[in-house]
């Protein structure tokens, strides 16, 4: 099974001090031959958030390095989903500005035969990483 990690799930996996790091590690530990995916939005979000963390002086370059190391060292294989989708492909359930990125990622995952994996229980059709 292939899962596109949303930004928060990717952050939880790649940053050991994330509040949900153990949750996502436990989920991955229970899986066999799982394929994880990122895309431009999730990778940019990972870098953007890490470089803004208070009390951590993480540069863009070090965040890029952390992501590269995560992808190389993970027990899961990683793939990158190319995003060529416009707003015309947003799911019908997207009604507010707060849902646009989630809707886009869900549609992108579906277009690539994947499922959006998230820590947010409010995204229709997404896989909620279990507690």
Q: What is the DSSP letter of 54?
A: T
Rounded distance between C-alpha atoms, residue 105 and residue 4, angstroms: 8
22-56 per-position pLDDT tens digit: 999 999 999 888 999 999 999 999 999 999 998 88
Tally of domains in the chain: 1
The CATH code of the domain that includes 11 is: 3.40.50.1010
Q: Which pLDDT tens digit goes with each residue over 47-80?
A: 999 999 988 899 999 999 999 999 998 888 999 9
- Cα separation, 35 vs 75, in Å, equals 9
Q: Which domain holds residue 92?
A: 2-128
């Amino acid at each position: 099974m292939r899962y596109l990690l949303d930004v928060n799930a990717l952050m939880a996996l790649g940053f050991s001090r994330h509040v949900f790091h153990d949750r996502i590690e436990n989920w991955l530990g229970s899986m066999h031959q799982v394929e994880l995916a990122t895309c431009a939005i999730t990778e940019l979000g990972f870098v953007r958030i890490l470089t803004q963390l208070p009390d951590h002086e993480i540069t863009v370059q070090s965040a890029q390095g952390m992501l590269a190391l995560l992808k190389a060292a993970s027990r899961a294989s990683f793939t990158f989903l190319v995003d060529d989708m416009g707003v015309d492909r947003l799911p019908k359930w997207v009604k507010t500005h707060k849902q646009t990125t989630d809707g886009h990622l869900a549609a992108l995952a579906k277009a690539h035969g994947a499922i959006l994996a998230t820590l947010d229980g409010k995204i229709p059709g997404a896989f909620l990483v279990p507690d």
